[in-house]
Chains A and B, each alone.
Chain A
């Protein structure tokens, strides 16, 4: 099985966070934490992203956006919810315009708690996510292998 864990490209979407977590996500990339050591690249484009980092909770306006961005990513993909807002809604969960954490609209694989989540925590979260990323790939390839086998068999029968 090919090892794809060394190149996780992340895309960050700011749901309705207070910025605290956003800047900590950015801080991960800066010289002191340098996430690129692990091959992490911050890309703005869902087409090229492997890991979706969501900060902040989900509200009525951004729910379809988060969903769309997630759908645009190519499989296998992983979602990491950063900060308690993205996990549960955090302090804001009782606000009228907050539906809850990111898991309200997309399946979340890793929750990173903290308000704001510390850069180390975010790196840990991504690293956890990478493991899932690899599992996903294996599952995907297995499924594909089966499919092509079926096809071959179907071809033989004909």
Chain B
């Protein structure tokens, strides 16, 4: 049974997706999508649990050594993707982008066909892969359930967009399938395929509405991701030429080689493919200078952004970086990757302040949190990798919830401007609560992001990354600002009492509740998750080779931390209930003595009543994306060029010397 779970998880979404593609406009699409999502949800959870019980989490399996047929399917898929891309590029007259698809596809096929056949495993399961499977399966399928309901409302409001919701759902499924493949595959050629597959899926999702903006943004996403693909392919080919294998396991074990050959040509050369693949991960994770594609992705309906941001697409990059972390530890590549991550964290935190579109804030915050994860992975010490994993987990769940709730709120409120969320607690109390908790999860105690940040700072300090530490502390101060002001909006006394009809479906609420409960459980069981799962994962053989495992964070510390943090959760509750009976007199709000008795209006200069309106601070002139993005991209590009020069230079130097 267990042996078939992985192929099932990869193939099943593709099948559903095919089915949906061909079901046209028919209504059964919704049902199929729901059933499919439920199946995936339970399969992934069951698989995770069952495998843990039966084999044990710590076992690393390598499966499917002989996969000739599958190889051909993959090959076909790759060619198909290239064709689709080429076709669309020609259709929209973006000819040069097609080259980014054709060249690497051709190259990889050529190498693959000419290289000697090797017997390597194609599926590879370890703790990291398993937790990714769980994440993609659980969060992804919840997003799909949510999407079914959401698209209904969406098309009711947006008559101008052609209703192709089955196509949309199909893409979501395809995406999930690709993600499953991506996190479990052990062959670099497969990896390339799934990679391209997610790129193309996201491209198609972003272009869903077919508005001009959507098309432009989708092509931007496409070329950036394909550029990453080119780097990935280059890295893979480079590895192959150095090591003669497509096996990811082999590649990972080069860790020792780097140590052995550090002074030799070969050792230096090894950095180059690492850098290339890390570069690919940067594009996927929307790090500077490639952040704009993820922002552009906001034009698509909310579920697709949710999927891109929370559990899947961007996490693919992080996944790769976590895998590479041991290879980047303590060397120049890691330094620069970490630096770019920290820089992204800081710069996008600045930009997030200027945003009032809730989805844009979420987007900026995603990029910035990814930056933090990238920085952690780039440093690659056990603590930071541990932090990175937890950041990823917590971020996935909270962000998925936030995106979904924002989408649902938008459908009810007909706006997703944060200013319109003023007093949401009084108009859509449930939505406000979910948003509030989701945001808490992003930066406040008791949720894991905070502990992870703690650990990240500790790890970085241990490894003496002063500059990166400085970036992180400044960025984290800004994070509190932009989240804090939104939270303030949610609970503020409303300007005007307005009646809002809550059009949120049951299904959506179920999804919210599951997310929320997951978040809380994750906090409660934080030490256990850490000890029994993540610690070994970080420290033991699976990832870093034969280093002895030490817990990233001492257990006792963790328990104290979590205990403290839970207090943060409990105290307000206790205070709330203990304070209930107390007598306290309500007074009017202070407005210089002229409020009209309702707390939201005052007598204005002409003797009439004026409605009070409080708005957040945005510092748009200073911090707008338009103003900051270009310079930040420029700086990041320079950093990338510097590392390219260093590596290239040392390479040449090595060759000459």
Q: CA A46 – CA B593 in complex, angstroms? A: 9
Q: Which residues of B contact A58 (CB under 8 A)?
A: none
The contact of B593 among A66, A74, A75, by CB within 8 Å, is A66
Query: Across the interface, which residues of A come within 8 angstroms of B592, CB to CB?
Result: 65
Closest to B591 in A: A68
Q: Which residue of B lies closest to A144 (CB)?
A: B583
Let me know if B398 is at the binding interface, CB within 8 A: no
Per-residue contact bits, chain A 16-43, to B (CB 8 Å; 1 contact, 0 not) = 0000000000000000000000000000
Query: Interface 1/0s, chain A 52-86, versus B by CB < 8 A?
Result: 00000000000011101101101100000000000
B587, B590, B593: residue with the most chain A Cβ atoms closer than 10 Å:
B593
List the A side residues contacting B594 at CB < 8 Å. 64-65, 68
Main secondary structure of the interface of B (DSSP, over half): loop
Does B585 sit within 8 A of A, measured CB to CB? Answer: yes
Chain B residue numbers with a CB within 8 Å of A46 are 590, 593
Q: Is the CB of B588 within 8 A of A68?
A: yes
Whether B585 contacts A68 by the Cβ 8 Å rule is: no
22 A-B pairs (CB sep. < 8 Å): A13-B593, A45-B590, A47-B587, A47-B590, A64-B593, A64-B594, A65-B592, A65-B593, A65-B594, A66-B593, A68-B588, A68-B593, A68-B595, A69-B593, A71-B587, A71-B588, A72-B587, A72-B588, A72-B590, A74-B585, A74-B587, A75-B585
| CB nearest to A73 among chain B residues | B587
A51 to B585, CA, bound (A): 18
Q: How many of chain B's residues touch chain A, expressed as a range?
A: under 10
Instruction: State the CA gap A71–B588 with chains docked (Å).
Output: 8
Complex formed: what's the CA distance from A125 to B588 in Å?
A: 28
How far does the alpha carbon of A146 sit from the alpha carbon of B43 in the complex, in Å?
66
Which residues of B, 570-603, contact A by the 8 Å Cβ criterion? 585, 587-588, 590, 592-595
Cα A23 to Cα B587 in complex, Å, equals: 30
Nearest A-chain residue to B592, judged by Cβ: A65
Q: How far is the CB of A97 from chain B (nearest CB, A)?
A: 15
Within the complex, the shortest CB–CB distance from B287 to chain A, in Å, comes to 47
Kindly list chain B residues whose C-beta atoms are within 8 Å of the C-beta of A74: 585, 587
* Chain A minimum-CB-distance residue to B597: A68
Query: Could you tell me the distance in whole angstroms from the C-beta of B251 to the nearest C-beta in chain A?
Result: 66
Chain B interfacial positions (CB closer than 8 Å to A): 585, 587-588, 590, 592-595
Smallest Cβ-Cβ distance to B588: which chain A residue: A72
Give the residue name and chain of the A residue nearest to B584 (CB): A74
CA distance A74 to B588 in the complex (A): 11
Question: Smallest Cβ distance from B26 to chain A, in angstroms?
Answer: 63
B587 contact set on A, CB distance < 8 A: 47, 71-72, 74
Chain B residues near A68: list those with CB within 8 A.
588, 593-595
Distance A72 CA – B592 CA, assembled complex (angstroms): 11
Interface centre among A45, A72, A74 (most CB of B within 10 A): A72
CA distance A64 to B593 in the complex (A): 8
Chain B residues, CB < 8 A from A65: 592-594
Question: What residues on A are CB-neighbors of B585 within 8 Å?
Answer: 74-75
- B142 smallest CB distance to A (angstroms): 46
CA gap between A142 and B459 in the complex, in Å: 61
How far apart are the CA atoms of A109 and B101 in the complex, in Å? Answer: 86
Task: Compute how far the CA of A7 lies from the CA of B594 in the bound complex, rounded to whole angstroms.
Answer: 28
Nearest-CB residue, chain A, relative to B595: A68
Assembled-state Cα–Cα distance A66/B592 (Å) = 10
Give Cα distance in the complex from A68 to B585, angstroms. Answer: 15
Distance of B180 from chain A, by nearest CB (Å):
58
Residue numbers in B under 8 Å from A72 (CB-CB)? 587-588, 590
> A residues within 8 A CB of B593?
13, 46, 64-66, 68-69
Give every chain A residue within 8 A of B588 (Cβ-Cβ).
68, 71-72
Shortest B609–chain A CB gap in Å is 13
Q: In chain A, residues 70-122, which have Cβ atoms closer than 8 Å to a Cβ of chain B?
A: 71-72, 74-75
> Which residue of the partner chain B has the closest CB to A46?
B590
Across the interface, name the chain A residue whose C-beta is closest to B585.
A74
A100 to B: closest C-beta gap in Å: 19
A47 to chain B: which residues have CB within 8 Å? 587, 590
Output the least CB separation between A10 and chain B (Å). Answer: 16
Q: Complex: how many Å from CA A75 to CA B584? A: 11
A149 CB to closest chain B CB, in angstroms?
Answer: 15
Distance, CA A72 to CA B595, complexed state (A)? 11
Q: In angstroms, how far is the closest chain B Cβ from the Cβ of A85? A: 18
The winner among A13, A45, A66, A71 for most chain B CB atoms within 10 A is A71
**Residue ID in chain B nearest A148 by CB atoms:** B583
How far, in angstroms, from A45 to B592 measured CA to CA in the complex? 9
User: Which residues of chain A are within 8 angstroms of B590 by Cβ–Cβ distance?
Assistant: 45-47, 72
- Excluding A47-B590, A64-B593, A65-B594, 7 further A-B contacts by CB distance (< 8 Å) are A45-B590, A46-B593, A47-B587, A68-B588, A68-B595, A71-B588, A74-B585
Q: Separation in Å of the B591 CB from the closest CB of chain A?
A: 9
Expressed in whole angstroms, the minimum distance between the Cβ of A141 and any Cβ of chain B is 13
A13: B residues at CB distance < 8 A: 593
Q: Find the residue from A45, A46, A75 having the highest chain B CB count within 10 A.
A: A46
A1 to chain B minimum Cβ distance, whole angstroms, is: 20
Bound-state Cα–Cα, A8 to B593, Å: 21
Complex CA–CA separation, A138 to B10 (angstroms) = 77
CA gap between A65 and B597 in the complex, in Å: 11
Tell me which residues across on chain B come within 8 A of A71, comparing CB atoms: 587-588
Contact residues in B for A66 (Cβ distance below 8 Å): 593
Q: How far is the CA of A45 from the CA of B588 in the complex (A)?
A: 12
Contacts of A45 in B (CB 8 A): 590
> What is the CA–CA distance of A45 and B594 in the complex, to the nearest angstrom?
13
Cα distance A69–B588 when bound, in Å? 9
**How long is the Cα–Cα vector from A17 to B571 in the complex, in angstroms?**
50
Nearest CB in chain A to that of B583: its residue: A144
Q: How far is the CB of B599 from chain A (nearest CB, A)?
A: 11
